[in-house]
Amino acid sequence: MCYIERVVNLLKKVFCSAWILSERDTSKRHFVVLDGIRFCRYPKLKEPVIRFAVLALALLLVASGYGAHNGFHLVELKEIEASNAPLSAPLSRFETNTSKGKEDPSLGFDARIPDMNLELVWIDPGQFEMGSNDGNDNEKPVHRVNITHGYWLGKTEITQAQWRSVMGSDPGHFKGDNLPVENVSWEDCEKFCKKLTDREQKAGRLPNGYVYRLPTEAEWEYAARGGIKSKGFEYAGGDNIDSFGWYYENSMDKTHPVGRKKPNELGLYDMSGSVYEWCYDKYGSYTSDDKTNPSGSLQSWCYVYRGGSWYLGASYCRTTFRDCLRPLSFHAYLGLRVALAPIIRDRSGIILEGRR
């Protein structure tokens, strides 16, 4: 074992519960991720010299180029400017939430709504290059996007049984409890998310400042690419679409039960293929400047959908493919995946419930 690997293993053992925190500027929090283990606040780690030494070592590992290929990430979180949403500090894997039931969403952990069998995957904040210079014109130019908040995303698309448990009806063209719900418009999805938010709020299972909503286009692509675990695949999870998604060549002209293909790096299923997924955003052209928590155009007549479907070919299932439809449109190849994410506000602090 090389010297640097010994240092990493020692770091895991000694500081696996340690926050690396800048006390002079509390709007900036540094934390380290080693092979998926977040380094979080630990009351015994009070000596500034120790904190500085660990942070310096982390920076050295990143600068050496070791980190990108060995599951090591150094992330800097800043206050959210556009949304004014709460900064979600990651929690230790060894820390339990004693004030709520074990099924309640706790920042930094996967979650589940037991009475509707809805599993949610925690997505760590980070940055990525959005778009593709090799794709369609509307996927260009590639630009850097910073996601400064953690959020949850459905492990699978919303099923017909889950939709029915909230809305009391089943609009699907294809029938089956575990099939992805389809034939739903953007407006239908907004109503579903609002009802789910109201229900979970009454049950006391909503983190402060979070709601159920459609993911923004940036949140969707970041998660589809694998977030901080991304390996740069063309499709969500790999370069062989047959292993990861249902599309025209393997779907037999119908939808299939969710979660039957392989997941992507984050454990999300069917992000490529199955049914297209509505996003929160109104459609807009890309620009080359860096963006932080983008939430779409303010002026457009259509809403973004992502992910490809059983109905079309592999090129439509790429993680960067994007298109849009009017908010009342519905089709048998169009569904949704919910996010549990910070409320979206404009710069004046007004909550934006969709972009009508």
Residues 6+ apart with CB under 8 A from 345: 82, 83, 84, 85, 351, 352
Residue 3, pLDDT above cutoff 80: no
* CATH value at residue 216: 3.90.1580.10
Indicate the Cα dihedral angle 195, 208, 147, 186, nearest 10°: 10
More confident residue, 230 or 58: 230
Q: Are 296 and 217 in contact (CB under 8 A)?
A: yes
Query: Residues 84-96, buried b or exposed e (16+ Cβ, 10 A)?
Result: bbbbbbbbbeeee
* Alpha carbon 93 to chain centroid, angstroms: 19
| Weakest mean pLDDT among 55-59, 119-123, 227-231, 306-310 | 55-59
C-alpha span between 143 and 23 (Å, rounded):
32
Mean of pLDDT values over 289-306? 93
Q: What is the pLDDT of residues 131-152, one digit of tens each?
A: 999 999 999 999 999 999 999 9
Q: Per-residue DSSP letters for 240-287? A: -HHHH---TTTSTTS---TT-S---TTS---SSSSSEEEEEEEP----
- DSSP 3-state assignment of 1? coil
| Burial of 36 (C-beta count, 10 Å sphere; 0-12/13-18/19+) | exposed
Residues 296 and 225 grouped into a single domain:
yes
Residues 59 and 126 grouped into a single domain:
no
Residue 214, pLDDT above cutoff 50: yes
| Weakest mean pLDDT among 55-59, 135-139, 258-262 | 55-59
Q: What is the pLDDT of residues 16-49, one digit of tens each?
A: 333 333 322 333 334 444 333 334 333 334 455 5
Q: What is the pLDDT of residues 149-205, one digit of tens each?
A: 999 999 999 999 999 999 999 999 999 999 999 999 999 999 999 999 999 999 999
Does residue 332 sit within a domain?
Answer: yes
Output the average pLDDT for the chain: 79
Please tell me the predicted confidence (pLDDT) of residue 63.
56
Residues 6+ apart with CB under 8 A from 103: 111, 112, 113, 114, 205
Residue 222, pLDDT above cutoff 60: yes
Q: Quick one: which H or E segment has residue 162? A: helix 160-167
Residues 41 and 188 grouped into a single domain:
no
Residues 151 and 222 grouped into a single domain:
yes
Q: How confident is the model at residue 10 (pLDDT cuts 50, 70, 90)?
A: low
Residues 234 and 153 grouped into a single domain:
yes
- Domain range for 225 is 111-342
Give the DSSP letter of residue 311: T
Does residue 34 sit within a domain?
Answer: yes
Q: Which residue, 77, 102, 121, sits at the end of a domain?
A: 77
Residues 70 and 125 grouped into a single domain:
no
**CA quadruple 278, 279, 282, 283: dihedral sign:** negative
Q: How confident is the model at residue 346 (pLDDT cuts 50, 70, 90)?
A: low
Please tell me the predicted confidence (pLDDT) of residue 105.
84
Does residue 238 sit within a domain?
Answer: yes
* Bridge partners, residue 291, by sequence: 145
Closest CA to 121 of 227, 197, 213: 227
The CA–CA distances, whole Å, from 18 to 107, 149, 169, 239 equal 16, 20, 48, 36
Residues 181 and 120 grouped into a single domain:
yes
Mean of pLDDT values over 332-352? 79
C-alpha span between 187 and 334 (Å, rounded):
13
Report how many domains make up the chain.
2
Residues 146 and 221 grouped into a single domain:
yes
More confident residue, 80 or 337: 337
More confident residue, 75 or 236: 236
Residues 71 and 169 grouped into a single domain:
no
Q: Are 324 and 283 in contact (CB under 8 A)?
A: yes
Residue corresponding to tokens 């029938």: 175
Q: What is the pLDDT of residues 60-95, one digit of tens each?
A: 665 555 444 444 444 433 332 333 333 333 332 222
Residues 125 and 70 grouped into a single domain:
no
